[in-house]
Amino acid sequence: MGGITLSNRSLLRERIAEVLKIFPDLTNKLNDRSGSLSGGQQQMLAIARGLITDPKVLLLDEPSLGLSPKLVKEVFAKIKEINNTRGTAIVIVEHNIKSILDIVDRAYLLDKGKLVTVDTPKNILESTLLEDVFMAKI
């Protein structure tokens, strides 16, 4: 999606201001190269870039990758905030199952590319499905 741009500069500035309200840690980093940012800041930047075009659906692939447990909680809290405040539907592919189940409304559990179940996080946690999948009992 990096190729999608906003040609209206005032709209672009408005959208940047909106995402900086969500990710205030990036405000002082606007002139920095993305490679100089911390892992958490890089994830926030990636999400912010996705939000600039005000999508109806935001697709995230492994947003916790390489982050400390503290930063995972912060990034996931921001993802939930985006969903709640902006109404953006968010589809997340994530291996950090326990953490992601805290913020999702519905989970699709896959095993070797095949759908095992679609259910609420509560039902998945109360079942043996996670153990069955990760211990190769299915």
Taking residues 83-107, report their average pLDDT. 92
- The pLDDT of residue 4 is 54
- The pLDDT of residue 5 is 65
- What is the CATH T-level fold of the domain 9-104, as seen in this structure? Rossmann fold (3.40.50)
Domain segments of the chain: what residues? 9-104, 106-138
The 3-state secondary structure of 13-55 reads: HHHHHHHHHHCHHHHHHCCCCHHHCCHHHHHHHHHHHHHCCCC
- The pLDDT of residue 138 is 60
Per-residue pLDDT of 21-51, as tens digits, reads: 999 989 999 999 999 998 889 999 999 999 9
For residue 90, pLDDT over 90 is answered with yes
- The pLDDT of residue 2 is 47
